[in-house]
Amino acid sequence: MFNFLKDKLKSWIKPKVVVLKPKKEEKKIKEKKPKEKIEHKIRTKKELEEERKISSDLIEDIKKEKGEEIRPIPRPDEIIEQIKQEKEKKETEEKKSFWERIGLSRKYRITEQDFSELFESLENILLENNVALDVVDYLRENLKKELVDKEVKKEEVEEAIKTALKNSLSSLFIQGFNLIEKIKSKEGVFVIVFFGINGSGKTTTIAKLASFLKQNKISSVFAAADTFRAASIEQLVKHGEKLRIKVIKQTYGSDPAAVAYDAIEYAKARKIKVVLVDTAGRMYTNSSLLKEMEKIIRVSKPDLKLFVGEAITGNDATEQAKTFNQAVGIDGIILSKQDVDEKGGTSLSVSYVTGKPILFLGTGQDYKDLEEFNKEEIIKALGLD
């Protein structure tokens, strides 16, 4: 996870090689030099000697008169040369990168211009790594507040940027809840319904979660409410056999809400604590499947509606979560396939965009590959701890 992003953020905070930019323009300034010098050599040698003599005679006269040491008055060509050098120096300064500018002073006040320059490169890194646009905008404003006009010692600049980034990223995550405690605190059966698009990992996640609940001594039953996709019921039955968990099922094409209802009744009768309702994958553009989803919710009155999205699909997963949330109001998010997502932008974006917490990360295909979401772990994985 974050293999790409971690390295990029590291080099953003501390550039390994400082390169003057843009190189080409700098060359141009250097090339200009000899040409302009020639212009000032128009005076003849004789004229220059005369000028110098007048100047040194004048100095001698003043010395005699005032009895003190004075510096010769610069000649016009010297003044022009001096102005040119100062202008060049200023231009070179302006072309220096933020890091080089900082290198010149012991204390540094980060200006808006510094920040824009800094953020431009960060923005590219974030977008390349699937961070949603809304999140990039939020980070820009947040970092700006923390960094602009901040006076930092030269040796503390990296730390200040790192801390600001860490704080901004941390604030992206909505505080979640402890699922085990939530389940235990409810009297009677606790119902969780899982939604998401086709193949996002719903059924596998349900099996992983049942195993997690078992470890916490919480019993569960599966509701095979995906009566739509071929072999979906058999898939859940297989998990049930492996985990020794009862599967409540009907035939393909039957009403998913009725399957969920049966499973809840079964759980009530057998004092089973949790009902895990598997549903068919659906695109939010499919209105009949969306209606079906609403009916499952109406009938089963779930304690939690969880969205399962694939981390690897990046902005698509973030958009799906947003749309499912608008359609049914999700309570939390599980991001599957985090193990194959090198970029990590979905986990940084989805909570901020939906305003809902990420509860678990799917990190593989085994039952044990379900991790409780912890934002500190994310910050650590990004090398910002």
Ligand X SMILES: Nc1nc2c(ncn2[C@@H]2O[C@H](COP(=O)(O)OP(=O)(O)OP(=O)(O)O)[C@@H](O)[C@H]2O)c(=O)[nH]1
Residues forming contacts to Mg ion in the complex (CB under 5 A) are 202-203
Q: Which of 82, 113, 124, 198 binds ligand X (CB under 6 A)?
A: 198
Q: Which of 196, 256, 309, 332 binds ligand X (CB under 6 A)?
A: 196
Give the interface segment with ligand X, choosing from 17-25, 132-140, 181-189, 197-205 (CB under 6 A).
Answer: 197-205
Cis check: omega of the bond before 22, within 30 degrees of 0 = yes
| Residue 371 interacts with ligand X (CB under 6 A): yes or no | no
| Residue 281 interacts with ligand X (CB under 6 A): yes or no | yes
- Name the residue number minimizing CB distance to ligand X: 281
Q: Residue 296: which of 211, 225, 381, 347 has the closest Cα?
A: 225
| Residue 336 interacts with ligand X (CB under 6 A): yes or no | yes
Work out how close the CB of 226 gets to Mg ion at its nearest, in angstroms, rounded to a whole number. Answer: 5
| Residue 349 interacts with ligand X (CB under 6 A): yes or no | no
Q: Which of 76, 199, 329, 355 binds ligand X (CB under 6 A)?
A: 199
Residue 260: both structure tokens together: 């969920």
Q: Which of 130, 168, 203, 346 binds ligand X (CB under 6 A)?
A: 203
Q: Residue 270: which of 173, 206, 332, 189 has the closest Cα?
A: 189
Nearer to ligand X, 262 or 369 (CB): 369
189-195-198-200 Cα dihedral, nearest 10 degrees: -90
Give the interface segment with ligand X, choosing from 104-112, 172-180, 198-206, 317-325 (CB under 6 A).
Answer: 198-206
Work out how close the CB of 119 gets to Mg ion at its nearest, in angstroms, rounded to a whole number. Answer: 41
Residue 92: both structure tokens together: 């070179």
Please tell me the distance from the alpha carbon of residue 306 to that of residue 30, in angstroms, as a whole number: 63
| Residue 226 interacts with ligand X (CB under 6 A): yes or no | yes
Q: Which of 18, 83, 104, 340 binds ligand X (CB under 6 A)?
A: 340
295-296-302-308 Cα dihedral, nearest 10 degrees: -120
Alpha carbon distances (Å) from 184 to 176, 181, 270? 16, 5, 17
Give the interface segment with ligand X, choosing from 37-45, 58-66, 167-175, 192-200 (CB under 6 A).
Answer: 192-200
Burial 343-372 (b: 16+ CB within 10 A, else e): bbbbbbbbbbbbebbbbbbbbbeebebbbe
Work out how close the CB of 211 gets to ligand X at its nearest, in angstroms, rounded to a whole number. Answer: 13
**11: partner contacted, choices ligand X, Mg ion, none (Cβ within 5-8 A by kind):** none
Q: Rounded to the nearest 5 degrees, what angle is found at the Cα of 143, between the Cα atoms of 21 and 7?
A: 60
User: What DSSP designation does 23 have?
Assistant: H
**336: partner contacted, choices ligand X, Mg ion, none (Cβ within 5-8 A by kind):** ligand X
| Residue 229 interacts with ligand X (CB under 6 A): yes or no | yes
**349: partner contacted, choices Mg ion, ligand X, none (Cβ within 5-8 A by kind):** none
Q: Which residue has the tokens 């969880």?
A: 306
Please tell me the distance from the alpha carbon of residue 297 to that of residue 295, in angstroms, as a whole number: 5
Q: Which residues bind ligand X (CB under 6 A)?
A: 196, 198-204, 226, 229, 232, 281, 336-337, 339-340, 362-365, 369
